[in-house]
């Protein structure tokens, strides 16, 4: 049986790991965007989202949807694995 303290600790660890994953994916997205010489505005127009969404995804503040992930991959001519590299 799991006690209440270990559940709280587990949730904290998961929350920290989620933040790490979001940050890594965001950094990968930014790297590919910069390699293509695109601005956040240009990328947001191509993907059909607000520029602030791109900013927040790159900063690791927001998750991207599966649909957005696939659009980003299409724009950069990469696979989802490329965006998830080093996660």
Whether residue 22 contacts residue 62, with contact meaning beta carbons closer than 8 Å, is answered with yes
Range 4-83 classified under CATH 3.40.50.920? no
Write down the domain spans for the chain: 4-83
Kindly report the pTM of this predicted structure.
Answer: 0.87
Q: Is the pLDDT of residue 50 over 70?
A: yes
- For the segment 1-30, what is each residue's pLDDT rounded down to a tens digit? 567 778 889 999 999 999 999 999 999 999
Q: Is the pLDDT of residue 42 over 80?
A: yes
Q: What is the mean pLDDT of the chain?
A: 94
Closest CA to 29 of 4, 11, 55, 8: 55
């Amino acid at each position: 049986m799991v006690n209440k303290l270990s559940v709280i600790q587990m949730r904290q660890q998961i929350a920290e790991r989620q933040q790490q994953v979001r940050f890594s994916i965001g950094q990968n997205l930014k790297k590919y965007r910069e390699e293509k010489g695109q601005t956040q505005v240009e990328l947001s127009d191509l993907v059909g989202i607000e520029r602030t969404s791109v900013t927040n995804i790159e900063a690791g503040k927001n998750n991207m949807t599966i649909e957005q992930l696939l659009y980003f991959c299409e724009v950069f001519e990469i696979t989802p694995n490329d965006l998830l590299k080093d996660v």
